[in-house]
């Protein structure tokens, strides 16, 4: 059953425009390992939020709320190319700020995931292997020269998560 779920997760990810990354689906026998954030991990995320918060404060006189109210500010930073393609850390910092919105909107929580590619912060759904790699959701698209619409990414993430929940729990528990 676990391998079927992992295959379905892979298919849903493709259908959702790759907005959701369920890491570790490459091998059914070796799944990702999740752990709580260490104080150092939490500090890293805090520092990345601070990068984005400083830009928003300087440019718009606003601050981050970790709610959907942040989406227009994040979108403006992206549209105005506040960070260039080569500024991976800063672009991933946008991913952390966007991830905070995803966490609130989709009932996710920040954890560390370790898989064959290494360890990174990710957003996890309950105690499942479903996770979203918010850290690179924006950076990878910017680096590829794609348009980024954070409101659309949120909607795609919501739809993809709902589809995975239906698969895991049936149609009654998709809220």
Proportion of the chain in helix, strand, coil states, percent, rounded to 5: 55, 10, 30
Angle between helices 39-60 and 88-106 (to 10 degrees): 100
Q: What whole-number distance in Å separates Cα of residue 74 and Cα of residue 119?
A: 26
Q: Which two tokens stand for residue 36?
A: 């709580």
Residue 115's SS3 state is strand
- Condensed to tens digits (0 to 9), the pLDDT of residues 97-156 reads 999 999 999 999 999 999 888 999 999 999 998 999 999 999 999 999 999 999 999 999
Whether the full predicted model's pTM is greater than 0.75, yes or no, is yes
Q: Does domain 2-27+34-173 have CATH number 1.20.120.1090?
A: yes
pLDDT, one tens digit per residue, over 7-52 is 344 434 434 444 444 433 444 447 889 999 999 999 999 999 999 9
Tens-digit pLDDT profile for residues 47-96: 999 999 999 999 999 999 999 999 999 999 999 999 999 999 999 999 99
């Amino acid at each position: 059953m676990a391998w079927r779920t992992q295959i379905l997760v892979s298919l849903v990810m493709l259908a959702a425009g790759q907005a959701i990354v369920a890491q570790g689906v490459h091998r059914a026998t070796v799944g990702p390992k999740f752990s709580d954030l260490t104080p150092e991990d939490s500090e890293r995320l805090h520092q990345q939020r601070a990068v984005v918060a400083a830009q928003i404060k300087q440019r718009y006189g606003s601050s981050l709320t970790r709610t959907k109210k942040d989406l227009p500010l994040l979108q403006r930073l992206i549209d105005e190319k506040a960070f260039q393609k080569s500024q991976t850390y800063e672009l991933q910092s946008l991913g952390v700020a966007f991830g905070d919105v995803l966490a609130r909107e989709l009932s996710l929580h920040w954890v560390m995931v370790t898989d064959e590619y290494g360890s990174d912060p990710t957003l996890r759904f309950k105690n499942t292997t479903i996770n979203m790699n918010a850290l690179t959701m924006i950076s990878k698209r910017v680096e590829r020269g794609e348009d980024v619409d954070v409101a659309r990414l949120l909607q795609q993430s919501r739809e993809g998560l709902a589809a995975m929940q239906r698969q895991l729990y049936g149609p009654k528990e998709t809220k």
